[in-house]
Amino acid sequence: MKIIFLTHHEEFRGFSMTRYTQFLNNGFQELGYDTEVWAPKNFFAKYSTNKTIKKWLRYIDAFVYFPFILIRNSKKQAPDTLFVLIDQALGMWMPNIKNKKVVIHCHDFIALKSALGLIKENPTSWTGKLYQRSIFKGFSKAENFICISNQTKRDLLHFLNTPRCKIEQVYNAIDPLFKTGNILKARKHISDFLKLDLKEGYLLHVGGNGFYKNRTGVIALYTAWRKQTNFTLPLLMIGYEPSLEIIETYNSSPYKENIYFLTEVENDFLLKAYQGAKLFLFPSLMEGFGWPIAEAMASGCPVITTDNAPMNEVGGNAAVYIKRCPENDKLLLWANESAKVIESTLRLNEEERNTLILKGLEQVKLFDKVAILNQIENFYHNVTV
């Protein structure tokens, strides 16, 4: 069986999708499979330097030009070739491989639910609604799906509303890179990089600028906690360059001199950041999975996250939970209440803290790379027989 992984345009892929594509492609090559990765490239987009025009030309590359390439090249493949869409957001390609064996990996339906008006924090433009309608129309024609969490599976079942599909839930796998290490050495590494004294530790957040990552909520939460505590631990925020909204929240914090944005960090730095943190904050509004929760626990860092699926699915009994961040008019109340949870977690004695860390190390066994690849391999085989 040959496997062809279909993934996003090279400039639309993002960190998570790049990592997921590499995980599947490299993993199945290690298992002895013949694999290829097909993706749109800059064809029309290379002729423009205007940011807006270039964006729309990339869409043309991905959803007008690439389908012709896909149809042409797929005809050359053996009948038992399996085509795997890395993300359900690529569902518009389904008509181009409708007579092939296909599996779609589903990550989250945040954009689709937003387009349907189900997420009030994220209103969608008419073009966005049209785009999501086209995606849904495409992936709803498929019959074989793998969902990265039970929450994603529930959402998929709701949207498909049909018993004919094969749907399996398979968690994301943690990169073996993430593991416990020497806390003092990790803090020294981060201290030297930032030219700060972080031997007492720091609070950490990892995430992008998407509304659901709630980076403004992270800053509000940190600000509320600093007003309540005698601790002076800084906050490190690893991710993309902050948006204007995030910068505004940052500038309004009286503790902004203790908040540090770190972008484009290497994996080794990210690992040491997890290992050296006193606490990992992840108050997301929603997720498909929530990779950083698992990475932090695997690195021996206690986690505080939102008590909603799938965050509490990934964290299990090993994370500390707070309520979901509400709308802006109730943000301050939420931050003040949730800050108490930060304080109480930081004041755990050594035995209590170690117990929490050990629970995390046990929980992350659910996300073992070998076991997850085996689950996916079995599902692929069931599709092709």
Give the pLDDT confidence of 211-238 residue by residue, as tens digits. 999 999 999 999 999 999 999 999 999 9
The tokens describing 113, both together, are 């639910």
Say whether 183-367 and 2-173+368-384 share the same fold. Answer: yes
- Domain 2-173+368-384 CATH superfamily: Glycogen Phosphorylase B; (3.40.50.2000)
| Window from 157-166, 172-181, 357-366 with minimum mean pLDDT | 157-166
What per-residue confidence (pLDDT) applies to 330? 87
Per-residue pLDDT tens digits for 306-340: 999 999 999 999 999 999 998 777 889 999 999 99
Contact 80, 2 (CB under 8 A): yes
Domain boundary assignment for the chain: 2-173+368-384, 183-367
Give the mean model confidence (pLDDT) for residues 12-33. 90
Confidence of residue 361 (pLDDT cuts 50, 70, 90): very high
Position 163 pLDDT exceeds 80: no
Q: How confident is the model at residue 157 (pLDDT cuts 50, 70, 90)?
A: very high
Split at pLDDT 50, 70, 90, the class of 249 is: very high
Is the alpha carbon torsion for 26, 27, 30, 36 positive or negative?
negative
First to last CA, the chain: 10
**What integer pLDDT is reported at residue 121 of this predicted model?**
86
Average pLDDT over residues 267-288: 96
183-367, superfamily in CATH? Glycogen Phosphorylase B; (3.40.50.2000)
Q: What is the pLDDT of residue 323?
A: 96
Distance CA 48, CA 52 (A): 9
Least confident range from 189-193, 263-267, 280-284, 305-309: namely: 263-267
Of residues 192 and 54, the one with the higher pLDDT is 192
DSSP 7: -
Q: Which two tokens stand for residue 33?
A: 């499979």
The rounded percent of the chain whose pLDDT value lies above 90 is: 85
Task: Please say if the pLDDT value at position 14 is more than 80.
Answer: no
Residue 251: count of CB within 10 angstroms of its CB? 9
Residue-level pLDDT at 45: 83
